[in-house]
């Protein structure tokens, strides 16, 4: 194994193990922090895959934005002095069977399928992705800005109390 | 040698963990976290295919849009969860049960 | 640059909607007592302009891929654009804030901005020609819908409905995203025509990944059109949302979902031959859709039998109708696509009419419960007669538009050959079951005694006019049938290039 392979195993293990903690942890706060490591692990996988721009985006938006939002959600929907922050779990047995079945099917599909193997040598992607955003994907880029506008208006409208309307 | 299938299996593991979370957790914030796991698993797929399979950057661009969508979705979701908590003091989905029939 | 300029010329409806959306947001934030009226007029004008541009595209028969293959413009897409913009326009004009009691006292600016944003997203979804755009537009439609369902802040039902909708929707679209990622991996491209080209030559080796991708993508479409078993959100959301929002959701996102489903199943998962399409590759998605369609219509109709809340009843009825409309996709032919267009066109008028009646009864009596409807004929003859017409149209009684929709859909299935006669028969049996609950509504309104002490309903002049409009829209099209048939026939042109 090369050094890069070791790094892969480290990131892959971190991703999957912390993903499991997100699902199994009894406390919401533990889940949230485990999610942090999952996002880091995935960002590491992106780096190994040569997706430098995406890795940075993952850190900025997922860790810096989405995770912080989720933490706000955890804190605002529980009294902070309530240290337990337990979440209720149900149907663990059947859930485990379904999830294991799904894993086996998809892992099997990943192994037996003859995927195309054109491949692409790792190279800096930022410039090329920027060109794609303002070229081929111009419309999607603009549509995403409308989406963010709607989310902004919507979220602000929903949490505002009725009186202020 | 680490190849495409390694990444796809990591992604399959994340997907099944996310689905397990959906099936077993009852807290709305926790369900949102499980959904994030699923979105991340799809993104790992996209980037891995971009590197090993397709050989173009379309997959990475797709992944960026997925992240943007996820951010918008979580913002709206948390607004709704906060309102739910304000209205009935619980983030638990089992208590959301007035719509039936 | 030239590409963008060329694309903008075929993108006018969407540009109008975007401009209108931004103007509404700006005007609403300026404030002042006049803003509600201004926002409303602005929205109506925007939608009217967009409708004009969509009709222009349709008449011109414009075709082509725009924005580097992100979107497709073709007569089929233009037909959907007309239906989608028309639905939003009818909602804003007929279902006013005055008429919808639930919306009293709420801000109008955001509501209209959201409707415009939803319309824009619907148009993008119906024209998507690339899986990136498809996913993005699908999420735009979904996220806008979640916010619209949550519009009644402080109302527990609205809040709960939007949360259920959001979680269910996020899971379904997340699953679909995973399927799309597999499709990208298999074909190496995100463009729908590109994917078709690869699939037409076949995928080497085991097909498991392709099956999984197809299955997951069907989950996403199934969620959008509320097909069984992805329909769970539908009754709760329809009940919890404000009635104008429910009416819009029952028509527009569904139509957009069917629009992209036709494009996807015909244009990507099949290869066009004259007048019909051949399945490409090895996925027999027709069988999968037959199963879903039969389950959808049967479950929708059976569940509707026992409903007393009118919004829930219409929710289950709309699930059943999605089952019929799916027949048009399964047929996988020009006839099938045409029947789908005609059904959606008919469904727009009959369903919005029924929801308008429900809204008006709620405005005056404050109830959605069918058990409060007895004696309505005595108290509001015009309203009751109109409702009768809408119900008969939903059953599919000639000569109303609903009948023509069903005629075309069943005809398309029968056209497929004797192997599918049973499918048409299942549809006919379902239409008969549906007769029970629609006629029950009529029986309660016309025959049952009750509410003797309540005074007659005093409908506003505008509301009467709109009831007459919807009644006419259900009755009269049969007179112009050959022209509508011709229009739909001309609209079944899919542009399948890059």
pLDDT > 60? residue A16: yes
Question: What's the confidence (pLDDT) of residue A133?
Answer: 94
Q: What residue in C sits closest to A165 (Cα-Cα)?
A: C107
Contact C147 A157 (CB under 8 A): yes
Mutate to test the interface with B, among A73, A94, A164 (most CBs of B within 10 A): A73
**Contacts of residue A135 in chain C, CB cutoff 8 Å?**
68
| Domain range B4-92, CATH class | mainly alpha
Q: Please, is A79 exposed, middle or buried when counting C-beta atoms within 10 Å of its C-beta (0-12, 13-18, 19+)?
A: exposed
Q: Does C70 touch chain B (CB under 8 A)?
A: no
pLDDT > 60? residue C329: yes
pLDDT > 60? residue A151: yes
Question: What's the confidence (pLDDT) of residue C225?
Answer: 94
Contact A165 C114 (CB under 8 A): no
- Residue C474 CA to residue C293 CA, distance in Å, equals 25
pLDDT > 80? residue C56: yes
**Contacts of residue B33 in chain A, CB cutoff 8 Å?**
22, 31-32, 35, 70
Write the pLDDT tens digit of every residue in C239-278: 999 999 999 999 999 999 999 999 998 888 887 776 667 7
**Contacts of residue A115 in chain B, CB cutoff 8 Å?**
4, 49, 52-53
pLDDT > 90? residue B65: yes
Write the pLDDT tens digit of every residue in A31-73: 999 999 999 999 999 999 999 999 999 999 999 899 999 988 8
The torsion region of residue B89 among left (phi > 0), alpha (psi -120 to 50) and beta comes to left
Question: What's the confidence (pLDDT) of residue A81?
Answer: 44
Could you check whether the bond before residue C347 is cis, i.e. omega within 30 degrees of 0?
Answer: no
Which has the minimum average pLDDT: A24-33, A72-81, C211-220, C290-299?
Answer: A72-81
- Residue A121 CA to residue B52 CA, distance in Å, equals 8
pLDDT > 50? residue A11: yes
Question: What's the confidence (pLDDT) of residue C231?
Answer: 93
Write the pLDDT tens digit of every residue in C89-130: 999 999 999 899 999 888 889 999 999 999 999 999 999 999
CB pairs B-C closer than 8 Å: 126
Provide the chain C residues 142-171 that lie in CB contact (below 8 A) with chain B.
143, 146-147, 150, 153-154, 156-157, 159-164, 166-167, 170-171
**Contacts of residue A106 in chain C, CB cutoff 8 Å?**
212
Mutate to test the interface with B, among A42, A50, A80 (most CBs of B within 10 A): A42
Which candidate from A136, A151, A162 shows the least CB-CB separation from C68?
A: A136
Q: Does C206 touch chain B (CB under 8 A)?
A: no
Mean pLDDT (whole number) for C38-61:
95
How far apart, in Å, are the Cα atoms of C316 and each of C227, C233, C330, C411, C438? 11, 11, 22, 24, 12
Quote the minimal CA–CA distance from C181 to chain B in Å: 5
B92: DSSP letter: B
Question: What's the confidence (pLDDT) of residue A19?
Answer: 96
Mean pLDDT (whole number) for C287-316:
95
Q: What residue in C sits closest to A148 (Cα-Cα)?
A: C140
For chain A, the chains sharing at least 3 beta-carbon pairs closer than 8 angstroms are B, C
How far apart, in Å, are the Cα atoms of C218 and each of C122, C133, C288? 18, 17, 9
pLDDT averaged over chain C? Answer: 92
**Contacts of residue B22 in chain C, CB cutoff 8 Å?**
171
Quote the minimal CA–CA distance from C54 to chain A in Å: 19
- Residue A112 CA to residue C206 CA, distance in Å, equals 6
pLDDT > 80? residue B46: yes
Q: Does C177 touch chain B (CB under 8 A)?
A: yes
**Contacts of residue A31 in chain B, CB cutoff 8 Å?**
30, 33
Cβ atoms within 10 Å, residue C9: 12
Question: ipTM for the complex?
Answer: 0.94
Residue C46 binned pLDDT confidence (cut-offs 50, 70, 90)? very high
Contact B82 A100 (CB under 8 A): no
Contact B27 A54 (CB under 8 A): no
**What is the SS3 assignment for C303-369?**
HHCCCCEHHHHHHHHHHHHHHHHHHHHHCCEHHHHHHHHHHHHHHHHHHHHHHHHHHHHHHHHCCCE
Contact A109 C182 (CB under 8 A): yes
Residue A118 binned pLDDT confidence (cut-offs 50, 70, 90)? confident
Residue B55 binned pLDDT confidence (cut-offs 50, 70, 90)? confident
Contact B9 A92 (CB under 8 A): no
**% of chain B residues with pLDDT over 90:** 64
**Contacts of residue B12 in chain A, CB cutoff 8 Å?**
102-103, 106-107, 110
Quote the minimal CA–CA distance from C87 to chain B in Å: 25
The residues, any chain, with a CB within 8 Å of residue B3's CB and separated by 6 or more, are B52
- Residue C158 CA to residue C277 CA, distance in Å, equals 43
Q: Can you give the pTM of this predicted structure?
A: 0.95
Coil, helix or strand at residue A17: helix
- Which residues does B contribute to its contact with C (CB < 8 Å)? 15, 18, 22, 28, 31-32, 35, 38-39, 41-43, 45-46, 48-49, 53-56, 58-59, 61-62, 65-66, 69, 72-73, 76-77, 79-81, 83-84, 87-88, 93, 96-99, 101
pLDDT > 70? residue B101: no
Question: What's the confidence (pLDDT) of residue A82?
Answer: 46
**Contacts of residue A107 in chain B, CB cutoff 8 Å?**
8-9, 12-13
Q: Does B40 touch chain A (CB under 8 A)?
A: yes
pLDDT averaged over chain A? Answer: 88
Quote the minimal CA–CA distance from C464 to chain A in Å: 30
Contact A96 B20 (CB under 8 A): yes
Which has the minimum average pLDDT: C126-135, C268-277, C321-330?
Answer: C268-277
Which candidate from A115, A140, A153 shows the least CB-CB separation from C132?
A: A140
pLDDT > 80? residue A8: yes
Contact A165 C204 (CB under 8 A): no
Contact A160 C153 (CB under 8 A): yes
Quote the minimal CA–CA distance from B13 to chain C in Å: 13
Question: What's the confidence (pLDDT) of residue A165?
Answer: 43
Quote the minimal CA–CA distance from C136 to chain A in Å: 7
Question: What's the confidence (pLDDT) of residue A162?
Answer: 60
- The residue to which tokens 């829930």 are assigned: C312
Contact A117 B76 (CB under 8 A): no
Question: B33-42 burial, b for 16+ CB within 10 Å, e for fewer?
Answer: bbbbbbbbbb
Contact B80 C162 (CB under 8 A): yes
- Residue C163 CA to residue C21 CA, distance in Å, equals 25
Long-range contacts of B82-86 (CB under 8 A, 24+ apart): B82/A73, B82/A76, B82/A77, B82/A159, B83/A158, B83/A159, B83/C150, B83/C153, B83/C159, B84/B28, B84/C159, B84/C160, B84/C163, B85/A76, B85/A77
CB pairs A-C closer than 8 Å: 113
Q: What residue in A sits closest to B30 (Cα-Cα)?
A: A28
Which candidate from C7, C143, C153 shows the least CB-CB separation from A162?
A: C153
Question: What's the confidence (pLDDT) of residue C446?
Answer: 93
Crossing angle (nearest 10°) for helices C310-330 and C208-225: 140
């Amino acid at each position: 194994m090369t050094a890069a392979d070791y790094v892969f195993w480290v990131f892959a293990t971190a991703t999957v193990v912390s993903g499991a903690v997100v699902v199994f942890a009894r406390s919401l706060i533990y889940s949230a922090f485990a999610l942090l490591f999952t996002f880091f692990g995935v960002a590491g996988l992106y780096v190994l895959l040569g997706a430098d721009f995406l890795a940075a985006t993952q850190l900025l938006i997922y860790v810096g934005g989405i995770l912080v939002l989720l933490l706000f959600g955890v804190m605002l929907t529980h009294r902070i002095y309530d240290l337990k922050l337990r979440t209720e779990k149900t149907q663990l047995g059947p859930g485990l069977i379904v999830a294991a079945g799904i894993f086996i099917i998809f892992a099997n599909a990943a192994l037996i399928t003859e995927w195309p193997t054109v491949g692409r040598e790792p190279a800096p992607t930022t410039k090329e992705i920027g060109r794609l955003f303002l070229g081929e994907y111009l419309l999607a880029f603009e549509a995403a800005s409308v989406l963010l506008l709607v989310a902004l208006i919507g979220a602000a409208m929903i949490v505002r109390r009725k009186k202020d309307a | 040698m680490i190849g495409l299938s390694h990444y796809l299996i990591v992604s399959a593991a994340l997907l099944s963990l996310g689905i397990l979370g959906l099936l077993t957790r009852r807290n709305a914030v926790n369900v949102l976290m499980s959904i994030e796991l699923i979105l991340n698993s799809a993104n790992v797929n996209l980037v891995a295919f971009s590197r090993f399979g397709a050989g173009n950057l379309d997959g990475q661009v797709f992944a960026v849009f997925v992240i943007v969508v996820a951010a918008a979705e979580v913002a709206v979701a948390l607004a709704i969860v906060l309102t739910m908590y304000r209205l009935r003091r619980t983030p638990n989905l089992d208590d959301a049960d007035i719509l039936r029939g | 640059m030239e590409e963008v300029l060329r694309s903008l010329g075929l993108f006018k409806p969407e540009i109008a909607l975007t401009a209108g959306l931004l103007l509404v947001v700006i005007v609403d934030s300026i404030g002042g007592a006049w803003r509600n009226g201004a926002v409303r007029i602005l929205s109506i004008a925007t939608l009217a302009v967009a409708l004009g541009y969509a009709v222009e595209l349709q008449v011109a028969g414009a075709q082509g891929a725009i924005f580097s293959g992100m979107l497709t413009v073709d007569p089929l897409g233009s037909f959907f654009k007309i239906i989608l913009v028309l639905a939003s326009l009818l909602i804003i004009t007929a279902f006013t804030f005055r008429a919808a009691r639930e919306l009293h006292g709420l801000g109008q600016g955001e509501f209209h901005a959201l409707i415009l944003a939803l319309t824009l997203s619907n148009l993008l979804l119906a024209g998507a020609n690339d899986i990136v755009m498809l996913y993005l537009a699908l999420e735009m439609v979904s996220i806008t819908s979640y916010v619209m369902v949550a519009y009644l802040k402080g109302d527990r039902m609205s809040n709960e409905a939007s949360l259920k909708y959001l979680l269910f929707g996020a899971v379904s679209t997340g699953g679909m995203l995973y399927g799309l990622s597999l499709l990208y991996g298999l074909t190496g491209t995100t463009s729908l025509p590109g994917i078709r080209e690869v699939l037409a030559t076949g995928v080497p080796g085991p097909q498991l990944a392709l099956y999984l991708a197809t299955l997951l993508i069907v989950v996403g479409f199934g969620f959008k059109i509320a097909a069984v078993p992805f329909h769970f959100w539908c009754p709760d959301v329809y009940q919890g949302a404000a009635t104008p929002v429910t009416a819009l959701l029952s028509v527009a996102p569904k139509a957009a979902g069917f629009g992209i489903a036709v494009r996807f199943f015909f244009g990507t998962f099949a290869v066009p031959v004259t007048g019909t399409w051949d399945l490409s590759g090895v996925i027999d998605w027709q069988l999968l859709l037959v199963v879903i369609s039969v389950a959808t219509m049967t479950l929708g109709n059976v569940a509707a039998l026992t409903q007393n809340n009118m919004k829930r009843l219409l929710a289950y009825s709309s699930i059943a109708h999605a089952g019929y409309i799916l027949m048009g996709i399964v047929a996988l032919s020009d006839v099938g696509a045409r029947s789908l267009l005609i059904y959606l066109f008919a469904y727009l008028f009959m369903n919005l009419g029924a929801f308008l009646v429900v809204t008006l009864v709620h405005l005056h009596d404050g109830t959605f419960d069918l058990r409060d409807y007895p004696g309505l004929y005595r108290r509001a003859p015009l309203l009751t007669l109109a409702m009768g017409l809408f119900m008969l149209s939903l059953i599919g009684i000639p000569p109303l538009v609903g009948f023509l929709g069903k005629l075309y859909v069943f005809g398309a299935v029968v056209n497929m050959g004797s192997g599918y006669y049973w499918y048409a028969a299942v549809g006919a049996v379902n239409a008969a079951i549906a007769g029970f609950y629609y006629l029950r509504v009529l029986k309660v309104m016309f025959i049952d005694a009750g509410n003797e002490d309540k005074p007659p309903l005093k409908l506003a002049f505008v509301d009467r006019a709109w009831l007459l409009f919807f009644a006419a829209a259900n009755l009269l099209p049969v007179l112009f049938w050959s022209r509508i048939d011709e229009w739909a026939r001309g609209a079944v042109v899919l542009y399948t290039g890059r």
